[in-house]
Amino acid sequence: MAKICLCLTGSTIDENLKTLDKYRSYIDIAELRVDCLEPDERLGIRHFPRLAGIPAILTIRRAIDGGRYSGGEGARIRTLAQGLAHAEADSRRNFAYVDIEEDLVVPSLEEAARTFGTRIIRSYHNISGIHENISEKIKSMRNTGDELVKVAVTANSTADVLNVFRASKVCAGRDFILVCMGHYGIYSRILAEQFGSFLSCTSAINEGGEPAAPGQLDARELAELYRFHKISKNTKIYGIIGNPLKASLSPWFFNTIFALEDIDAVYVPFPIDSVSSFMELAGELKIQGLSVAAPYKEAVLPWLKQDSSKINPIGACNTMSLTDSGWLGENTNIPGFSQSLLEFLGKRSLKRQKITIIGAGGAARAVAAEIHRLGGKAVILNRTQHKARAIASLYKFNWGGLDSRGIELMYKHSDVIIQTTSVGMEGSNTADLLLEYAFTGKEAVMDLIYRPEVTPFLKRAAQAGCRTRNGYDMFIRQACLQYNRFTGKDFPKKHLSRIKSGGS
């Protein structure tokens, strides 16, 4: 089973030990990044393994490899030697591993490591991308005796991750470490077992909520939410594709339920830039089900061997489940939205309701279809007006832009106002799209965003006295339906109250 390694980047040994104690119950190995230590602190690194009490990696990463060491090679070699030279007879008090780059050949250093039971990690780093022939690069590093081969590259695209995954097969059957750095590589860290990696590198999240390196996960999150230590080759894989995915609650929802129901499955965020590259990877990873987020709800349609009647004429898919005959697609946002809206309004239909829909993406398509089915009349407003017109024409709705004419139409369709765009979402544009519209306090206002709980749009509506609802209730409803499609089981109602209160 793959292990969790905590990368320690504090400026003092004491600071690193405090971080280690915070995460000790979640990790298997600690990497001491000596290049991050203050110069005086480097003199005491040989004591770290004894103080840490768990297997430790000695690393001094050069700037060229993404580290902070900027001194000469001679000084770096001497510091590495100091960490090994005073090794103790009890190997548990020595560094379990020392990370040495492939281009650093120092026989005396390597001999010292082997003498005291310290395993050498022979590493290759590329912080700008992946090697043009990553398979050949890995092959060239294989014949290294008992050394661990480590390849750490930055994945700049989904195609990069696919290439690295395929290249990892070169090392099948032996220990090696594989790291896909960057935003697109995050799922390779969760699925280290599937990628064949000996360990997954994690970090402590800083005060700003960011990891030590792009794409790294918090050690506790990896161990608890994703149940990393229970992931095996037999674990079923589900996930969500989109870009960005930072605000998505889907990983929390599904992994929480999988744990409560003791299901051998993991749900993973898959930030992607290419549906075609990802679908190739999905086949090789044997992914069983996918949630589909913006901007790919229309782009996935060509990969569906089957599509339920609920997708058309909407033309947007948010749920894909693998069947014997291929990918089945549908849109659970549709019933999730209508159930949530009707409960919010306390109504059984939308007859005599005049409604404004803001946006013209996949979510707006689902909303418009349900409003039409439930008897409502609507206007669709969007910056790109031809997109609004395309949806409106399906149901003989009005349409317009986010301009003065659009505002006039909005006043005539103001019983219910539904915001379907990503504007206001965490990590996205936090603006209020319709500052020119003055709420009267009589509108019922729904924003499909649920992170943050209150967007600037909802806040202004509430301040005017409007009833408001965010997208969390809709999210839960549609996710319960996705659970059914993924597992073939009804969502266990005994967990519903816990789920409804846990993510908002």
| Lowest model confidence (mean pLDDT) among 172-176, 215-219, 280-284, 388-392 | 172-176
State the CATH class of domain 335-470: alpha beta
22 is catalytic: no
d(CA 114, CA 103): 19
- The pairing of strands 56-59 and 148-154 is unpaired
Tell me which long-range contacts 75-82 makes (C-beta under 8 A, separation of at least 24).
77/104, 77/106, 77/109, 79/34, 79/42, 79/45, 80/109, 81/108, 81/109, 81/112, 82/42, 82/43, 82/45, 82/46
Locate 87 and state its tokens. Answer: 């090794």
Q: What is the mean pLDDT of the chain?
A: 92
| N- to C-terminal Cα separation, the chain | 34
Predicted pLDDT of residue 504: 47
d(CA 421, CA 444): 17
Calculate mean pLDDT across residues 359-366.
91
pLDDT at 112 over 70: yes
Calculate mean pLDDT across residues 61-73.
93
- Band (425; pLDDT cuts 50, 70, 90): confident
pTM, to two decimals: 0.92
Neighbouring residues of 208: CB distance < 8 A, sequence distance ≥ 6: none
* Catalytic residue selected from 139, 297, 347, 500: 297
d(CA 461, CA 454): 10
Q: What share of the chain is helix, strand, coil (3-state, %, to 5)?
A: 40, 20, 40
Q: What percent of the chain has pLDDT over 70?
A: 93
Q: Do domains 259-331+480-490 and 335-470 have the same CATH topology?
A: yes
- Band (351; pLDDT cuts 50, 70, 90): very high
447-491 pLDDT, tens digit per residue, is 999 999 999 999 999 999 999 999 999 999 999 999 999 999 999
d(CA 178, CA 165): 9
d(CA 129, CA 182): 10
d(CA 215, CA 452): 22
Helix ranges (H only) for 116-209 are 134-140, 158-167, 186-190, 192-195
**Superfamily holding 259-331+480-490:** Leucine Dehydrogenase, chain A, domain 1 (3.40.50.10860)
Higher pLDDT pick, 499 / 501: 499
Calculate mean pLDDT across residues 378-405.
96
d(CA 396, CA 144): 70
207-241 pLDDT, tens digit per residue, is 656 666 667 899 999 999 999 999 999 999 999 99
- Band (433; pLDDT cuts 50, 70, 90): confident
| Cβ atoms of 359 and 338 closer than 8 Å | no
Is the CATH number 2.102.10.10 carried by domain 3-122+186-233?
no
Exposed / middle / buried, residue 362 (Cβ in 10 Å: 0-12, 13-18, 19+): buried
What is the domain partition of the chain in residue ranges? 3-122+186-233, 259-331+480-490, 335-470
| Lowest model confidence (mean pLDDT) among 27-41, 111-125, 275-289 | 111-125
15-27 pLDDT, tens digit per residue, is 999 999 999 999 9
